[in-house]
Amino acid sequence: MKVYYQLNEFHRLPCAVVTSGTFDGVHAGHQALLRRVREKALACHGESVVLTFWPHPRLVVSPSDQPLQLLSTIEEKIELLAESGIDHLLILPFHREFSEMTAENYVQKILVDGIGTCQLVIGYDHRFGKNRSGDMAYLQAHQETFGFQVEEISKQEIDHLTISSTQIRQALQTGHLELATELLGRPYSFEGVVVKGRQLGRTIGFPTANVMVNEPYKLIPPHGVYAVEAFVRGDWYPGMMNIGTRPTVEGTGRTHEVHIFKFNQDIYGEHMKVRLHRWIRPERKFGSLPELQTQIHLDQDQIEQFFASM
C-alpha cells in the first residue's frame, strides 16, 4: 500500500475505486466496506483508494474539555488499512480551512480532479463538505455531472447492534471487552514504550512492564485488571495487566502495568503492544501487600484458565 500525506503527492489514476471516511478503529463495518472497494477495483481493473483525514475532524471542529478518545492512532490506522489490501492511502490534513470546503468543491477538486474517481463506495451514514451537507442523496443527484458511479454500503450489524466506532468506544469504556472485540473483528490494543516504574511488583513476585502511551487521544479502558497478550521481541505472550493508580502502594497517576507469564527478560526502553481480551475486576485498595499478592495469584489463576479455554 502506498501512503500519501498531501493531495499534490498523489498522481491522478485512470480508474480509481475510492472510499472515504475517518476509519477510526478500522472495525468490522469498515472491513466490509474495504472488501467491497477491493472487489470493485478488481472487477474494473482499477486501483483501490482510501481517503482519510488527520487529525480526526471532531478534534478540529468540536474541541472540548473532554476531547474525543480515539480507537486508533494514525500509525495504527495505517497498519490496519495496509492489512486490508488497499492499493493507495491518501491522508489529508484536516484543519479549519478544509472544514469550510463545500460539498461540490470537495467532490470536484479532491475526488475527481485529484484522485480520478470512477467509482465511489461509501458507508450508510457518510457525510462530507461544509456543515456535513454532502451525503448519498447529493452524490446520486450529481453523479452524472461528476462522472463517477456511487454505491452505498448498508449498515453492518452484529446481534442487531450497528457496528460503529461510537458503539465500540462505549463498550470499551464500560468494560465490555468481548463486545468490543466482536465489533472490531479483533481484540482492542494499544502500544507504547516500556519505562521504569517503582519496581514494587518484583518484590511480591510479579514484575511488571510499565507501558507508556504517548498519544493523549488514544482510548484507554477503565481502571481494573485485564487478561492480555503482550507483543514484545517478535512474539506474543499471555499475561495480566493493571490499569489504574495503584492505590495499595499510594501510586500517583495512571499506569498500564503488564505482568507477562513465564517471562523474565529486561525490556526497558523497548516497544510493546498490548492486546486486551477480558476485563477481570475493578482496581481496589488492599489492606497490605500480602493481601494484594494473594489477590494477584487469584487473578493469574483466573486468567490462565481463560487462555486455556480459548
pLDDT tens, 207-224? 899 999 999 899 999 999
Q: Which CATH architecture has domain 187-309?
A: Beta Barrel (2.40)
Characterise 205 by phi-psi region: left (phi > 0), alpha (psi -120 to 50), beta (else): left
Tell me, what's the pLDDT at 65?
Answer: 57
Q: Is the pLDDT of residue 49 over 60?
A: yes
- Residue 139: band (very low, low, confident or very high) from pLDDT cuts 50, 70, 90: very high
Provide CATH 3.40.50.620 ranges for the chain: 2-155
Q: Tell me the whole-structure pTM to 2 decimals.
A: 0.91
Task: Write down the mean pLDDT value for the chain.
Answer: 92
Which of 58-67, 108-117, 247-256, 263-272 is predicted least confidently? 58-67
Please state the three-class secondary structure of the chain as a single string: CEEECCHHHCCCCCCEEEEECCCCCCCHHHHHHHHHHHHHHHHCCCEEEEEEEECCHHHHHCCCCCCCCECCCHHHHHHHHHHCCCCEEEEEECCHHHHCCCHHHHHHHHHHHHHCEEEEEEECCCCECHHHCECHHHHHHHHHHHCCEEEEECCCEECCEECCHHHHHHHHHCCCHHHHHHHHCCCEEEEEEEECCCCCHHHHCCCCEEEECCCCCECCCCCEEEEEEEEECCEEEEEEEEEECCHHHCCCCCEEEEEECCCCCCCCCCEEEEEEEEEEECCCCCCCHHHHHHHHHHHHHHHHHHHHHC
In the chain, CATH 2.40.30.30 sits at 187-309
Kindly give, in sequence order, each residue whose CB lies less than 8 Å from that of residue 120, ignoring residues fewer than 6 positions away. 17, 18, 19, 20, 111, 139, 148, 149, 150, 151
The whole-number average pLDDT for the span 235-260 is 91
Q: 259-303 pLDDT, tens per residue?
A: 999 998 999 999 999 999 999 999 999 988 899 999 999 999 999
Is the CA virtual torsion 162, 163, 169, 175 positive or negative?
A: positive
> If 0-12 CB within 10 Å is exposed, 13-18 middle and 19+ buried, where does residue 26 land?
buried
Compare 123 and 273 and report the one with higher pLDDT. 273
Q: Quick one: average pLDDT of 230-245? A: 96
Say if residue 87's pLDDT is above 60: yes
Q: Which residue has the cell 493493571?
A: 242
- pLDDT surpasses 60 at 35: yes
Would you say residue 66 has pLDDT above 80?
A: no
Residue 206 confidence class, pLDDT cut points 50, 70, 90:
confident
Q: Would you place residue 157 in the very low, low, confident or very high pLDDT band (cuts 50, 70, 90)?
A: confident
- From residue 45, how far is each of 16, 18, 162, 309 by CA, in Å? 9, 13, 32, 45
CATH code assigned to 2-155: 3.40.50.620
User: Residue 25 pLDDT more than 60?
Assistant: yes
Spatial distance between the Cα atoms of 17 and 261, rounded to a whole number of angstroms: 46
Q: How far apart are CA 186 and CA 188, in angstroms?
A: 6
Dihedral angle over CA of 86, 42, 46, 18, nearest 10:
-50
Residue 201 has pLDDT above 80, yes or no: no
Confidence band, pLDDT 50/70/90 cuts, at residue 250:
confident
Mean pLDDT on 105-119? 96
> How is residue 62 written as a grid cell?
468540536
pLDDT over 80 (residue 228): yes
